[in-house]
Amino acid sequence: MRFTRQIPIASLILSTVFLWQPTLADSKTDINWERGEKISSVWNQNKCPGGSSQSFRLGGEVNNPTTYNLQNLRNLRDVLKNQNPAVVTEVTVTFQTGSGPRTETYYGVPLWELINNPKAGGGLKPGNSGVNTKNSFLRQYVLVDATDCYGAVVAIGEIQPNFEGKTVLIAFEKKASDGTVVSLTDDGFARLVVSGDKAGGRYVSNVTNIVILSAPPSPLKRKYF
């Protein structure tokens, strides 16, 4: 008798767990919330022709949206050095490429200064702070686009001096094999340089847009375990 009583109880427990437990199908459905066709449509409308960049646009959640060319970046680098001689505008990096490791010395403007210096981007605008507004800038990130639609993201927390404080440059010059400093050519006039990255995937060349954005609210429904 004890055995026959336990069968319905066990069945009830298993049924309850099965109905309550989140599934991969549920998560997948939530992730596709308000995406899919909309994203494909935007990408199709903004196809990139490629080619060499001659300028880029700094925009998004920044106080002073501006277009930069080579001379603008050189002038900004000089301004930054005058303001603070210790500002890092040169970095030597080694990173992995499809043809093997590569070591380069690049010169440029720190991404943090490009965004935040009063003579440049003028600081971050408040973005989507989410439900919890504490340290809301940690939800923000920088999307760097190339002329061929290649792109990479750098989180604000990576370059914020009080957090990771990583040196990330928008480079416009490099050291040649003979030791002279030359402008970038094959990379367009500017490229992203992310020191510390072992692979060169975020070394975006031919930069055409630098956009500061905020992470959207999570598309996943809250589940309590």
pTM: 0.76
Encoded amino acid at 48, one letter: C
Average pLDDT over residues 151-165: 95
Task: Give dist(CA 88, CA 172) in Å, integer.
Answer: 14
Encoded amino acid at 205, one letter: S
Q: Is the pLDDT of residue 152 over 70?
A: yes
- Residue 164: predicted pLDDT: 94
73 has which bridge partners? none
Q: Read off the pLDDT of residues 11-49 as tens digits, 9 standing for 90 and up.
A: 443 344 333 333 333 333 333 434 444 545 555 666 777
Q: Which two tokens stand for residue 221?
A: 């429904």
Torsion angles phi and psi, residue 166, rounded to 5: -70, 145
194 has which bridge partners? 168
Torsion angles phi and psi, residue 67, rounded to 5: -100, 135
- Residue 41: predicted pLDDT: 54
Task: Give dist(CA 107, CA 173) in Å, integer.
Answer: 5
Q: What is the mean pLDDT of the chain?
A: 81
Nearest to 125 by CA among 194, 209, 76, 58: 58
Q: Is the pLDDT of residue 81 over 50?
A: yes
One-letter-per-residue 3-state SS of 35-46: CCHHHHHHHHHC
- Residue 7: predicted pLDDT: 43
Residue with token string 């990479």: 152
Task: Give dist(CA 175, CA 33) in Å, integer.
Answer: 47
Element (H, E) at 93: strand 90-97
Q: Which of 25-29, 37-41, 151-155, 219-223 holds the top average pLDDT?
A: 151-155
Average pLDDT over residues 71-84: 96
Q: Read off the pLDDT of residues 89-145 as tens digits, 9 standing for 90 and up.
A: 999 999 988 888 989 999 999 999 999 999 999 999 987 777 777 778 888 999 999
Confidence of residue 193 (pLDDT cuts 50, 70, 90): very high
Task: Give dist(CA 177, CA 175) in Å, integer.
Answer: 7
Higher pLDDT, 219 or 58: 58
Torsion angles phi and psi, residue 178, rounded to 5: -90, 5
Encoded amino acid at 182, one letter: V
- Residue 127: predicted pLDDT: 76
